């Protein structure tokens, strides 16, 4: 059950990300083509106002299809229609005319030629792969040359559409962390903080507040707190037990130097409940620290440092399942941190990630003219290579985690 909850949580974060792109695209005048929760084959799908909505059978995220992410080029025409031309040479004239129109930046003529090419393909006796590629090519040409394709938008609109997905993830994280901070505040405390990791909160004491009950108790940084009043508890359970003590003296059980010790009893002191603005400020500070930590962690990938802390989908589900078993608040806290990491990762300035689209669109906005297709292709090739390397490193980390390494 906890694994299912973990998968649904990860699915939610990806769907929220895609929803950001979807609604921003509509806001700037685009017409998205598809919005899927999960990946095809579709279990359920329906069409509303020209958009296909679906529930995919593979619950590993979701996607939004936007028309014309790249401007059609003559080389695309060769890819889509070369097989059709070999099967039916009569298509040669209209295909060559379309290539010349695209090469000469004559978009009105290119749009007009789509209809002629569609008629010619329908009348041709095409079979097998050529007919499938030709059908796809006609669809891509219509998406890329008619209506309001992505590539034709002003630079600021493209940046807005690309940034909306990561922005929603970052905003969701701040909302989650703020809400949890307000809920968890108040009650009673003895004045210590646990060490936080990317996989959640550990039971190791990291900080002791000067003059606090914890300091009088003799609690030290590096102690592992294992329970309260003889009950073995998770880190969240320990905080809850102290917070709900109503000031009644408690005994803290710790592991130190291979020995188990009972410290106390000590009387927790009352702390005021956080205001929403105060909690939001703290959550933004935590979010910024996590983002900086993510950036530093990515910088260490190629040196081998801290690779064990990386987690892909398998690792995230495993860590989230563990957090879900420890309670709702622990799970939601971790979900907020994952949402932060997802937003940060997608802002990396490489294609096909959102950050790559933002970077190239911004450059085009400053130049006031489009970059060449070759620039996009080379940049995409470099980005895909880097993403594949990252995916391999993360996969090895997941495998090591599953194997207990």
Phi-psi region of 208 (alpha: psi -120 to 50; beta: other; left: phi over 0): beta
Q: Please state, rounded to an integer, the average pLDDT across all residues of the chain.
A: 85
The pLDDT tens digits for 85-142 are: 999 999 999 999 999 999 988 999 999 999 999 999 999 888 899 999 999 999 999 9
Question: 320 pLDDT exceeds 70?
Answer: no
Instruction: Please report which helix (H) or strand (E) contains residue 217, including its range.
Output: helix 213-217
**Which distant-in-sequence residues (6+ apart) come within 8 Å of 199 by Cβ?**
309, 311, 319, 322, 334
Cα distance between residue 218 and residue 130, in whole Å? 77
The pLDDT tens digits for 197-250 are: 555 567 788 889 888 999 998 999 989 999 999 888 888 788 888 888 888 999
Is residue 202 domain-shared with residue 247, that is, in the same domain?
Answer: yes
Is residue 344 domain-shared with residue 202, that is, in the same domain?
Answer: no
The CATH number linked to 258 is 2.30.42.10
Burial of 55 (0-12, 13-18, 19+ CB in 10 A): middle
Is residue 289 domain-shared with residue 373, that is, in the same domain?
Answer: yes
Is residue 266 domain-shared with residue 285, that is, in the same domain?
Answer: no
Number of domains in the chain: 4
**Which distant-in-sequence residues (6+ apart) come within 8 Å of 313 by Cβ?**
10, 60, 398
Tell me the two tokens of residue 362.
Answer: 């911004």
Determine the pLDDT at residue 185: 75
Of the three residues 248, 270, 292, the one that is the final residue of a domain is 270
Is residue 180 domain-shared with residue 304, that is, in the same domain?
Answer: yes
pLDDT band at 297 (very low <50, low <70, confident <90, very high): low
Is residue 95 domain-shared with residue 157, that is, in the same domain?
Answer: no
The residue range of the domain holding 51 is 31-65
Of the three residues 241, 270, 299, the one that is the final residue of a domain is 270
Cα distance between residue 187 and residue 164, in whole Å? 38
Is residue 328 domain-shared with residue 301, that is, in the same domain?
Answer: yes
Determine the pLDDT at residue 151: 92
Is residue 177 domain-shared with residue 296, that is, in the same domain?
Answer: yes
Average pLDDT over residues 248-258: 91
The pLDDT tens digits for 146-196 are: 888 999 999 999 999 999 999 999 999 999 989 988 887 778 889 888 876
Of the three residues 148, 174, 195, the one that is the final residue of a domain is 148
Is residue 170 domain-shared with residue 310, that is, in the same domain?
Answer: yes
Is residue 295 domain-shared with residue 210, that is, in the same domain?
Answer: no
Average pLDDT over residues 268-291: 84
pLDDT band at 16 (very low <50, low <70, confident <90, very high): very high
**Which distant-in-sequence residues (6+ apart) come within 8 Å of 293 by Cβ?**
198
Cα distance between residue 348 and residue 46, in whole Å? 34
Range of weakest confidence among 157-171, 320-334, 337-351? 320-334
Determine the pLDDT at residue 303: 60
**Which distant-in-sequence residues (6+ apart) come within 8 Å of 226 by Cβ?**
203, 232, 233, 253, 254, 255, 260
Is residue 260 domain-shared with residue 342, that is, in the same domain?
Answer: no
Determine the pLDDT at residue 318: 56
Is residue 88 domain-shared with residue 231, that is, in the same domain?
Answer: no
Tell me the two tokens of residue 247.
Answer: 């000031």
* In 298-384, beta strands by DSSP E: none
């Amino acid at each position: 059950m906890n694994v299912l909850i973990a998968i649904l949580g990860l699915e939610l974060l990806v769907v929220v990300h895609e929803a950001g792109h979807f609604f921003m695209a509509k806001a700037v005048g685009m017409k998205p083509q598809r919005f899927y929760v999960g990946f095809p084959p579709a279990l359920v799908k329906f069409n509303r106002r020209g958009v296909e909505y679906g529930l995919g059978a593979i619950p590993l995220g979701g996607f939004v299809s936007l028309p014309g992410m790249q401007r059609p080029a003559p080389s695309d025409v060769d890819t889509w229609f070369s097989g059709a031309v070999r099967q039916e040479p009569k298509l040669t004239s209209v295909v060559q005319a379309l290539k010349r129109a695209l090469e000469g930046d004559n978009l009105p003529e290119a749009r007009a030629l789509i209809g002629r090419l569609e008629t010619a393909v329908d009348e041709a006796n095409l079979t097998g792969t050529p007919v499938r590629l030709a059908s796809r090519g006609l669809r891509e040409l219509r998406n890329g040359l008619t209506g309001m394709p992505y590539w034709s938008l002003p630079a600021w609109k493209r940046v807005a559409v690309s940034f909306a997905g990561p922005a929603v993830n970052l905003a969701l994280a701040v909302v989650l962390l703020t809400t949890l901070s307000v809920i968890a505040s108040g009650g009673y405390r003895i004045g210590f903080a646990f060490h936080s990791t990317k996989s959640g909160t550990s039971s190791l004491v990291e900080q002791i507040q000067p003059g606090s009950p914890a300091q009088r108790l003799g609690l030290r940084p590096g102690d592992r707190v294992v329970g309260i009043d003889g009950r073995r508890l998770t880190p969240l359970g320990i905080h809850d037990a102290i917070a709900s003590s109503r000031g009644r003296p408690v005994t803290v059980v710790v592991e130190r130097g291979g020995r188990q010790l009972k410290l106390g009893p000590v009387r927790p002191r009352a702390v005021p409940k956080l205001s929403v603005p105060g909690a939001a400020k703290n959550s933004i500070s935590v979010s910024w620290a996590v983002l900086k930590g993510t950036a530093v962690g990515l910088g260490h990938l190629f040196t081998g440092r801290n690779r064990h802390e990386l987690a892909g989908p398998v690792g995230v589900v495993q860590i989230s399942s563990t957090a879900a078993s420890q309670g709702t608040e622990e799970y939601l806290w971790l979900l907020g941190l994952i949402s932060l990491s997802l937003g940060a990762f997608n802002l990396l300035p490489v294609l096909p990630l959102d950050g790559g689209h933002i970077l190239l669109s911004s450059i085009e906005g400053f130049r006031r003219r489009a970059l060449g297709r070759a620039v996009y292709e080379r940049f995409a090739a470099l980005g895909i290579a880097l993403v594949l390397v990252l995916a391999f490193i993360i996969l090895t980390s997941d495998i090591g985690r599953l194997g207990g390494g």
